[in-house]
Chain A
Amino acid sequence: MSDFRAMLASPYFNVSEGFFPNINLQDGLNWAEEFIQNVVIPRLPEAVAAHFPVELGTVLVMFGCAGIFVGVFPLLPLFLVLAERKVAARFQNRTGPMRVGPWGTLQTLADGVKLIFKEDFIPPQGDKFLFLLAPYIIFACSFAVFAAIPFGQNILVSDFNIGIFYIMAISSVIVMGVIMAGWSSNSKWSLLGSLRSAAQIVSYEIPLGLSILTIVMLVESLSMQEIVATQSNGIFSWLIFRSPFTFIAFFIFFISAIAEVNRTPFDLPEAESEIVAGFHTEYSGMRFALFFIAEYANMFAVSAIAVTLFLGGWEGVLPGYDILGGLPGFVIKTLALVFLMMWLRWTLPRLRVDQLMNLCWKYFIPIAFFNILGTGIWGLIFPEDTLISTSISCAIIYIGLIAAYKVAGRSLAQRPAPQPS
């Protein structure tokens, strides 16, 4: 009972005066330790009990969590593929897959089985070693990103002190896999696709990194958990509202992230109507599935990063509403961004290569630099995140949006449509 009181006094619990009890992983670890000490050890023979490690419970719980990580992440793309198909179907007044399982829920599984049994074709003229290696590089890199993403208060693999830097670095390696796949396939479409991809990913890393830099400047840390910790006071403490510049940075980050994961409107590397399937044209069977899984895992990863950096991570909308260590809130926010990506994908056409580069170098990079300048000035004026700075920031964002709406409405909507003579 006294432990429970101590638990109530713990920093994790005292903010929770809301409707839901705050259960977090730290409690779980404490509980496991208590359980070993109070229940298991007294019942053991004395010889064993004396040497019985009390930390075993902690270790077991951590193993359990690790098991969940390993088990859940590869399943994520399975879910996302189905979600994508269903969402696309809704946008197009269709039903999507309906035959396998109830409402087609097992369709991805069936596709997976099909892909496993398909012929694993290796182009005889291609570079066999690179051809075999490429999917693994892409697959491994896209899943390695998850190591640094905090899914909840204590639900993360490792809280690096250079977390966001690590994510940037590891996700840049993906382009290596793409180029390897394109080159080794010995197909012209693959080569075109991989070179497009290389140019695109390398270019869009810059606005991506610059917009992350605005966050890092304000938080003064690269650690993901510390970035989340600065956003713990409800929705208006989220970094997207911290200053008008982070607000812009969020959109630059998000759009660049869409480009990073090769989704419409930036899906040039795998533009179906132009270069057949891009860098994975020649892949079949399970190797193709690896690309596919990696693509959807990437999609989730960049959304998760955007949530962590700008939308409060696992912190709730109101301070303290981080149920189950904030995991459900985090997943909901991430899936909302994933839905936004799908929405964009099923609305927009595709850019051309030169326009893609235009967008990056002429629009995103200057604006991102401008953001950094502004963030620096903002940091000088408001060194601390106070109520005043947040209100000023939100007011500027609000006024800016309204003004933009008015100006846009005047300059675009009221212009008479061209009449054919």
Chain B
Amino acid sequence: MENTQQTESKIIELKPFADEMVVNMGPQHPSTHGVLRLELKLDGEVVREAIPHIGYLHRCFEKHSENLSYPQIIPFTDRMDYVAAMNQNWGFCLAVEKLLEADESRDFEVPERAEYLRVLICELNRIASHLLSFGTYGMDIGAFTPFLYAFRDRERLLLLFEKVCGARLTYNYIRIGGVSEIIPLEPGSITEQNFLDEIEAFLDYFEPLIDVYNELLTKNSIFAERTTGVAVMSAEMALNYGATGPNLRGSGVDWDLRRDEPYSIYDRFDFDVPVAVDVPELGSVVGDCWSRYKIRMDEMKESVRIVRQILAEGLPSGPVMADLKAVRPPKGEIYFRSEAPRGELGFYIVSDGTPKPVRLKGRSPCFSALSALQELSQGLMVADIIAIIGSIDIVMGEVDR
């Protein structure tokens, strides 16, 4: 008798007819791309609210940098967006180089060969990053095979990076004033020729595969059903949230820093900037998950084009490192942004003339994109949340820094 009374009172406490179920998706969850925690308020399968909680991968990058000299910071930028570490290195080095240029007393220019190597390696890195994005997106949607195809091809790229800088993931290759010389790539030598031949072989192998992957996943009607029309981010909303890169172009805004604010030697290459359009056959509208995903697939083709142009020209000879005795930027501050695979990567550096920055701030494209998740996910289903996270392509290492 007592027992029944207890259960009854318990039921009243639990409010069995509560209409919302709170579920913690993550930080340990198969498809939150790292350690993102989403607090989902569910009504059945329908998401009433999705609140992202970040910070599980916070490593105090910005504060830590204040105690490190500029060359020492580069390995830490590797750890930000670890699937596109070359681009992160480059973004930081570009900012510091810009700061150094302000010093009148120092005649300093990044050598031509280094610029070519930077573009070459970073575009390959962009392919690697987009491949990973494509693969994991397929896996999020439930197709496991594209994931392994993507990793199979990415492996070949990683072997190339390994040959040029000695590491597979955290490259520390692009340095202030040039590129690393850990593994010398003598101009005109057989090593260089082999390296370029291997890149060419990879491109010949990979370029037709993009269309195969489009057949396998992009145009698949189930995949299209899952991703088209889901989580439409209008151009206005994308701009308001500061979404950049493929996410912004997926919303139909024609903006690419490589073309519109060309840094390094991007103005010498001929490439298109893919922008999302409505695809009525598949039911896709500008700004939905499918558009964002498709931009990445198209960008891989453009990166292949850029790399092919470099291979056709050949690498110029000369040094790969500018003659910089010590990196000691003049007093001042700089904000420089570059187009990383996930969007605009910005670095804000305040220098007081010492070898260490006074303040360093990284502008992470993933963080801005992730902030739109809460608004995008209103009223969608649990499965759509996965589709959104995959389509905005976040890397938690960069979000949390």
Contacts and interface: CB of A to CB of B under 8 A. Distances in A.
Touching chains A and B, CB distance < 8 Å: yes
Interface of A: 88, 91-94, 188-189, 192, 196, 264-265, 267-268, 271-276, 346-355, 412, 415, 418-421
Contacts of B382: 192, 274-275
Contact of A265 (B152, B222, B383, B384): B222
A193 B21 CA distance: 14
Given A347-B216, A350-B142, A420 B275 contact: yes
Contact of A352 (B274, B278, B384): B384
Contact of B222 (A348, A412, A421): A348
A420 B298 contact: yes
B381 A420 contact: no
Interface of B: 21, 23, 29-31, 45, 138-145, 148-149, 152, 216-217, 220, 222-223, 225-226, 272, 274-279, 281, 298, 381-384, 386
Given A351-B222, A418-B277, A271 B298 contact: no
Contact of B279 (A265, A267, A347, A418): A418
Central interface residue in A88, A92, A274, A419, by most chain B CB within 10 Å? A274
Nearest to B282: A418
Given A264-B142, A352-B225, A418-B279, A276 B381 contact: no
**Smallest CB-CB A-B distances: 5 pairs:** A350-B142, A273-B31, A349-B143, A92-B148, A349-B141
B220 A348 contact: yes
7 contacts: A346-B144, A347-B145, A349-B143, A350-B141, A351-B226, A352-B383, A420-B272
Contact of B226 (A189, A264, A355): A355
Nearest to B22: A188
Nearest to A412: B281
A202 B152 CA distance: 40
B142 A265 contact: yes
A273 B30 contact: yes
Q: Which of B31, B222, B274 has the most CB of A within 10 A?
A: B222
A259 B19 CA distance: 29
B274 A267 contact: no
Given A272-B31, A418-B279, A421-B277, 7 more contacts: A92-B152, A272-B30, A273-B140, A349-B223, A350-B226, A352-B381, A418-B277
A355 B225 contact: yes
A349 B217 contact: yes
Contacts of B138: 349
A218 B152 CA distance: 50
A118 to B, nearest CB: 19
Given A348-B220, A421-B275, A353 B145 contact: no
A274 B277 contact: no
Contacts of B30: 272-273, 276
A100 B169 CA distance: 31
Q: Of residues B31, B223, B298, B382, which shows the largest number of chain A Cβ atoms within 10 Å of its Cβ?
A: B382
Contacts of B225: 351-352, 355
A234 to B, nearest CB: 36
A271 to B, nearest CB: 7
A264 B225 CA distance: 15
Given A276-B29, A421-B277, A353 B222 contact: no
A353 B142 CA distance: 13
Contacts of A350: 141-143, 222, 226, 383
B43 to A, nearest CB: 12
A349 B148 contact: no
B336 to A, nearest CB: 28
B142 A271 contact: yes
A184 to B, nearest CB: 17
Contacts of A421: 275, 277
Most buried by B among A347, A352, A353: A352
Contact of A274 (B21, B31, B217, B276): B31
Nearest to A350: B142
Contacts of A353: 45, 381, 383
Contacts of A419: 277
A351 B141 CA distance: 8
Contacts of A267: 142
B276 A420 contact: yes
Contacts of A274: 31, 382-383, 386
Contacts of A264: 142-143
B211 to A, nearest CB: 10
Contacts of B386: 273-274
Contacts of A91: 145
Contacts of B274: 420
Contacts of A418: 277-279, 281
Contacts of A420: 272, 274-277, 298
A350 B139 CA distance: 9
A149 B197 CA distance: 59
Contacts of B281: 412, 415, 418
A268 B145 CA distance: 17
Contacts of B298: 420
A408 B226 CA distance: 22
B235 to A, nearest CB: 14
- Residue from B139, B145, B152, B276 having most chain A Cβ neighbours under 10 A: B145
Nearest to B276: A420
A267 B144 CA distance: 12
B288 to A, nearest CB: 14
Nearest to B23: A188
A91 B148 CA distance: 10
Contacts of A354: 381
B255 to A, nearest CB: 14
Contacts of B143: 264, 347-350
A416 to B, nearest CB: 10
Contacts of A94: 148
Among A93, A349, A412, the most chain B Cβ lie within 10 Å of the Cβ of: A349
A264 B144 CA distance: 10
A226 B97 CA distance: 83
B145 A346 contact: yes
A350 B223 CA distance: 8
Contacts of A275: 382
A196 B42 CA distance: 14
A276 B25 CA distance: 9
Contacts of A268: 383
Contacts of B141: 273, 349-350
Nearest to A346: B145
Contacts of A352: 225-226, 381, 383-384
Contacts of A196: 45
A412 B223 CA distance: 16
Nearest to A352: B383
A347 B23 CA distance: 30
B286 to A, nearest CB: 11
Nearest to B217: A349
Nearest to B273: A420
A415 B279 CA distance: 12
Nearest to A415: B281
B295 to A, nearest CB: 8
Given A353-B45, A415-B281, A271 B383 contact: yes
A421 B279 CA distance: 12
